[in-house]
Structures are given as structure tokens and as C-alpha cells.
Amino acid sequence: MGMRKDYKKLPDDYPGVLADIKARIRSAQYSALKSVNKELVELYWDIGRMILERQKDEGWGKSVVQQLASDLQSEFPGVGGFSASNLWRMKAFFGAYENSEKLAPMVREIGWSHNLIILERCKDALEREFYIRMTRKFGWTKNILIHQTENGSYERTLLGQTNFDRTLTSEQQTQAKLAVKDEYVFDFLELGDEHSERELEKAIISRIEDFLSTVFP
């Protein structure tokens, strides 16, 4: 039998302190994941820019991008997201926002998969801005974002038929915070589809340690 935790010999305020520390750790994990997400979107933005610029200046076509995808996948076998189709999405992503001083910073505050949904489903910049803001404000998961686009939430809001602060259910409001469990996070951290909280913690700690080692060598 495992040893039972015995708090009788500990200070009276120990359970409260433990709860506070646990909450602080979870907050730090969440912040670390948001940081990884932002770096990932920044990375895809830069790759999209490079491809678009060389397509314009040097006439890069499908064969070059296909070779680029193959080389990247060989160099980073544990990291997802470098297929040829995704490279073209990065190019479209950069092209859609490169001239938008308002939206370019905002797209970095939501996840890559969310950005793709908005990019592919929205007709213009105003509609994209609406869904970016709503995703950021309410922490929508991918499924909720897809549901909102299919439900015509943008159009309904323009017609005054939707008030998110009143109609968003408590269940939706407490969905995974800014897509913590969306697959692109774990792809970038080199985790598979099946993952545990322990694996997630290890990956986050590893990324933080790598970052600190570059800042404080």
C-alpha cells in the first residue's frame, strides 16, 4: 500500500500555501505555453514572408517549396507543421496580414490552427478581426471557433442579434484556455498526439531551460 499523506504535523496554513503554489505553477505553465504559441506563429510568419518574397523575386514555384518541405522535415523529424501544404498556408497567412498594421500584431496572440480557420473561413479583414478578437477574449477552442463561424456569429453580431457577454455559456467560457491542448502546441514541443500532463510539464521545462541558457549563459 502507498503511504498516506499526513498533514497533522505540518503548519496549519500548509494546505493553503500548497494550493497557492499549485495555482502559481499552473499559471506559469499556461504563460509558457502562450509564449511557445506566439513564437510558433512568429516562426510561421517569417517562413511565409521568405517564401512570398522569393516567389516574387526569384520565381519560386511548387517544386522549390516541395523540396524545402522535404529538407525541413528531414532536419526536424520530430516537429510537425513543415509539409508543403502548410508552407503554402504560411505564405498565404503572411500575405493576408502583411499590410495590416492593426491585425498583424493580433494574429500573434492566438494559435496557428485558429489563425488558419479564420484565414480560410473569413471573407474580409473586418470579419477576420472580429473572430481574432473573440478568440482572444473568450479563449475559444478550435471547435468553438468553427462552430461560431458556421453559426454566422459575425453576421448576427452586425445585425445586433448576438451579445457574447450574455449568450456565451459558462461551459464555453471555461473551455481550454487559448487552445492549451490544441495539437500544434504539442507538435512544436515535439510531442505526439498522445501526451500526458507529465510529458507536457517536461517539455515546457525543457523549453524554458533552453531559453534561460541562451539569456544567461
Q: What is the pLDDT of residues 103-146, one digit of tens each?
A: 999 999 898 999 999 999 998 898 999 999 988 888 888 888 99
Confirm whether 210 is domain-assigned.
yes
Confirm whether 61 is domain-assigned.
yes
Domain enclosing residue 31, as ranges: 20-98+181-217
User: Same structural domain for residues 169 and 187?
Assistant: no
pLDDT on residue 179? 35
User: Same structural domain for residues 154 and 47?
Assistant: no
User: Same structural domain for residues 162 and 199?
Assistant: no
Separation between Cα atoms, residue 211 and residue 2, nearest integer Å: 38
- Tally of CB atoms within 10 A around 121: 16
Which of residues 125 and 78 earns the better pLDDT score? 125
User: Same structural domain for residues 171 and 194?
Assistant: no
Cβ–Cβ under 8 Å, residues 136 and 110: yes
